[in-house]
């Protein structure tokens, strides 16, 4: 499917401004963007409902705007966000409407039509209430019925307007898994999706629209960058990777979330040991820094999510001199430095060396000192010497300890 330089004006609003894109057969393209960006308008233009003031839309080499509606309905099916359906049709009758483009006044329903309708009902799990009136099913069920109708239409291109909007979490995933299987079977699918994390996980590519313009187009990690999100949505967002699925993960931060103005606390982390502490300190308004940590470490991910500055290193790289120096600078400028209950290995010796420069040092120990893990004598010695000049607390008392260290200094 090719969209070339499409512009649409609605009333006095330029809803689409010279938008171009190609969608491959067997591709799932997610359309994202703020309210009013033009997502629905783009869908309505591709389906032939709206005529662009400029540009063309071609499907299978045919210009949609030139085709009679019956012919375009064999190329593009739409699942609208909202629809007014006569309330006394049954669910099955609504799905049968999907076969209309293949009928004329003289042909009766064929067995192929019936087969398509049955399949569509089954794939969308709506067969169980096929004989109920459409007015008597829930909003989420109705959305699945509309998807069934579009499947019965048997088109190469399927446009879904917010396919998961009124679905519960179970049906969101089921619907997107169904979309995935349709795409694998060769359908071309385009869908505005507000949930950026679902979009990132399921879509092959994303189109970011803002103000009727194509702002970005590419793989989810190319499109979902902090600067693109800031520009399009005007929101401060943190982009990390979902530790479970590996997909890009977006979290919007409330206004001012990064403007913490409390005293500076530096946290030596590693392997996720600092995650909760980072959260507690950030939520209490401290200006928190952490590091040095390797990219990919769970503590780096947490720091990103919370908008905390981290001194980072390449994955698995040892702490080099420049990074050790940066850690030392953070420690020296911090009112308090905290070492959570971490495993002490060779890797973090430079961090421990830097911690020796702290004005106030707090060491968190939830396990008896003897049971802790030290890789090598040097780690143990180094930690011992820090222990002598710092305050040892359990994690449940760490906030209090930070506060009283700051008060007394």
Ligand X SMILES: Nc1ncnc2c1ncn2[C@@H]1O[C@H](COP(=O)(O)OP(=O)(O)OP(=O)(O)O)[C@@H](O)[C@H]1O
Write out the residues near ligand X by the rule CB under 6 A.
10-11, 13, 15, 33, 35-41
- For residues 174 and 164, give the distance between their C-alpha atoms in angstroms, rounded to a whole number: 10
The CB density around residue 316, as the number of other CB atoms within 10 Å, is: 9
36/272 with CB nearer ligand X: 36
Q: Which 3 state secondary structure label does DSSP give 158?
A: strand
- For residues 8 and 75, give the distance between their C-alpha atoms in angstroms, rounded to a whole number: 21
Instruction: Give, in degrees to the nearest 5, the angle at Cα 230 between 306 and 236.
Output: 25
Strand partners, 252: 237
**Parallel/antiparallel/unpaired status of strands 309-313 and 287-294:** parallel
49/280 with CB nearer ligand X: 49
41/155 with CB nearer ligand X: 41
Minimum distance of ligand X from residue 224's CB (angstroms): 17
Minimum distance of ligand X from residue 93's CB (angstroms): 28
Handedness of CA 105, 109, 110, 114 (dihedral sign): positive
Minimum distance of ligand X from residue 401's CB (angstroms): 47
**Residue given tokens 């996980």 in the structure block:** 201
Q: How far apart are the first and last CA of the chain?
A: 67
Residue 153 has φ and ψ, to the nearest 5°, of: -70, -20
Q: How many residues does the chain have?
A: 409
Minimum distance of ligand X from residue 348's CB (angstroms): 47
28/233 with CB nearer ligand X: 233
Report residue 219 as tokens. 């793989």
Minimum distance of ligand X from residue 50's CB (angstroms): 9
Minimum distance of ligand X from residue 231's CB (angstroms): 16
160/393 with CB nearer ligand X: 160
207/311 with CB nearer ligand X: 207
Minimum distance of ligand X from residue 48's CB (angstroms): 16
80/270 with CB nearer ligand X: 80
The closest alpha carbon to 390, from 368, 358, 367, 347, belongs to: 358
């Amino acid at each position: 499917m090719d969209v070339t330089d499409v512009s649409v004006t609605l009333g006095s609003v330029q809803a689409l401004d010279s938008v171009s894109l190609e969608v491959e057969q067997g591709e799932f393209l997610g359309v994202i963007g703020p309210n009013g960006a033009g997502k629905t308008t783009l869908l309505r233009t591709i389906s032939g409902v709206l005529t662009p003031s400029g540009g063309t839309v071609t499907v299978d080499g045919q210009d949609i705007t030139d085709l009679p509606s019956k012919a375009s309905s064999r190329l593009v099916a739409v699942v609208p966000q909202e629809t007014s359906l006569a309330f006394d049709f049954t669910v099955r009758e609504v799905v049968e409407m999907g076969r209309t483009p293949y009928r004329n006044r003289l042909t009766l329903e064929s067995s192929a039509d019936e087969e398509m309708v049955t399949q569509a009902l089954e794939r969308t799990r709506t067969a169980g209430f096929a004989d109920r009136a459409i007015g008597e099913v829930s909003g989420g069920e109705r959305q699945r019925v509309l998807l069934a109708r579009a499947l019965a239409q048997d088109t190469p291109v399927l446009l879904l307007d917010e396919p998961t909007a009124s679905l519960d979490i179970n049906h969101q995933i089921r619907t997107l898994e169904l979309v995935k299987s349709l795409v694998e079977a060769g359908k071309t699918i385009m869908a505005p999706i507000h949930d950026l994390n679902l979009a990132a996980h399921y879509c092959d590519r994303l189109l970011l629209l803002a103000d009727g313009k194509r702002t970005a187009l590419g793989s989810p990690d190319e499109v979902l960058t902090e600067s693109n999100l800031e520009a399009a949505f005007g929101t401060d967002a943190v982009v990390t990777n979902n530790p479970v699925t590996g997909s890009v993960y977006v979290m919007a931060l409330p206004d001012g979330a990064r403007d913490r103005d409390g005293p500076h606390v530096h946290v030596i982390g590693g392997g996720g040991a600092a995650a909760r502490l980072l959260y507690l300190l950030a939520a209490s308004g401290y200006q928190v820094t952490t590091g040095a940590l390797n990219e990919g470490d769970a503590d780096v991910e947490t720091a990103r999510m919370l908008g905390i500055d981290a001194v980072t290193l390449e994955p698995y790289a040892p702490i080099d001199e420049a990074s050790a120096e940066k850690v030392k600078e953070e420690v020296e400028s911090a009112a308090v430095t905290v070492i959570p209950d971490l495993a002490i290995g060779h890797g973090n010796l430079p961090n421990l060396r830097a911690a020796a420069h702290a004005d106030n040092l707090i060491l968190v120990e939830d396990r008896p000192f003897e049971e802790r893990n030290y890789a090598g004598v040097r780690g143990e010695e180094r930690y011992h010497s820090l222990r002598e000049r710092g305050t040892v607390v359990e994690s449940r008392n760490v906030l209090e300890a930070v506060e009283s260290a700051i008060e007394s200094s």
